[in-house]
Structure 1
Amino acid sequence: MAPQTLYPRGTVKKIVKAHANRTLSKDVDIMIFLNYALFMQELINEATISSKASGDRNISPRSVNKVRETTLRKFKG
Structure 2
Amino acid sequence: MTQLFPRATLKKIIKSHYNKALTKNVDVMIYLDYILFLQRLAEEANAEASQGINEKKIEERHIVAALERILQEFQG
In structure 1, the residue matched to 2:16 is 18
> In the alignment, which residue of structure 2 is the partner of 1:70?
69
Q: Measure, in 2, the Cα distance between the counterparts of 1:65 and 1:54.
A: 15
Per-residue deviation at 1:21? 1.6
Which amino acid counterpart does residue 67 of structure 1 have in structure 2?
A
The AA in structure 2 aligned to 1:18 is S
Kindly provide the amino acid, as one letter, of the partner of residue 33 in structure 1: Y
Q: With structure 2 as the length reference, what TM-score do the two structures score? A: 0.91
Give unpaired runs (5+ residues) of structure 2: none
Tell me how many residue pairs correspond in the alignment.
75
Identity rate of aligned residues, in percent?
40
1:4 is displaced (CA, Å) by: 2.9
The TM-score, its normalising length taken from structure 1, stands at 0.90
Provide structure 1 residue ranges, at least 5 long, that are not aligned to the other structure.
none
CA distances 1:27-72 after superposition (whole Å, capped 9, x unpaired)? 0111011001100010001001100102211211110011111111
Dislocated runs of 4+, deviation >6 Å: none
